[in-house]
Amino acid sequence: MNPTKYNPSFSEFILLIFLVFTSFQCKAVSNLSQIEAIEIDMQKLPLPKRLAFMSGHVKAGIELYRLNELEMAGPHLMHPVSETHQSERKDLDKLGFNQSLFVKISHALEKNIKSTEISNMLVEAEKNLDMISQNAGGDPYEIIKFLMAIALDEYELSFKDGTIIELGEYQDAWGFVEVSKDHAKRIPNIMKSKELIKEISALQKYWKEGPLPVERPTDPLILKQLIQNIVFLLNH
């Protein structure tokens, strides 16, 4: 990808002006929905959040695999199988985590096997993540807030001077937002659940090509305000 100076579209420019203006006009609302920075310690992170963290990486990896971006998919799909990320998987086997399935996907990736040849395995992997997530339980409100915070943190790390400088973090952020939609579906209040799914889906559209790199990524300021709105919705 050739880095280019960030030149926002007209609609993004108007939104940026609006966000700057409202940040001064709506401090009360902004403070209520402020996102706190998170330092992740896998040893102390509750299992439901730890699983959500791993799932974000895997979601990004599976999507990239389906897009036949095997080299990009590789690092994300190491989380369910490598020793480096072993702490993320602690006790997941008790919930039904099928690690052998993810090992098979990893081997297919190493052999450059096309996603169409293992499409059933990729679907089964997604179903396995969904099943163990339900078994893990946890407060969906708190899990979504956690995912929103780390998505913003990763996105900000990925962006500088209008370009993507850390592609892995850009893709991780997309994956965390994707997983947050799954947890929004588990909120018992149907109206609240639908509203959150709508807002999270709108947020994800600012990754203009999903987890794929783009020459003109969205300014983090836009994402931050949208995420603050989602957190405000979660808190009320």
CB 16 within 8 A of CB 8: yes
> pLDDT of 166-187, one tens digit each?
999 999 999 999 999 999 999 9
pLDDT of the residue at 5? 45
Quick one: DSSP state of residue 49?
H
pLDDT of the residue at 108? 97
pLDDT of the residue at 39? 65
Run of H or E residues at 35: none
Quick one: DSSP state of residue 67?
T
96 Rama class: left (phi>0) / alpha (psi -120 to 50) / beta: left
The angle, 0 to 180 degrees and rounded to 10, between the axes of the packed helices 10-25 and 220-235 is: 50
Q: Alpha-carbon Rg of the chain, whole angstroms? A: 18
Task: In whole angstroms, give the CA distance from residue 201 to residue 180.
Answer: 10
pLDDT of the residue at 8? 60
List C-alpha distances in Å: 5 to 63, 191, 210: 27, 41, 20
**What is the DSSP annotation of 25-48?**
H-HHHHHHTPPPP----TTTS-HH
Q: Flag residues of the chain having pLDDT under 70.
A: 1-39
48 CB-side CA count, 13 A: 17
The pTM assigned to this predicted structure is 0.85
Other Cβ atoms within 10 Å of 180 Cβ, number: 26
pLDDT of the residue at 17? 54
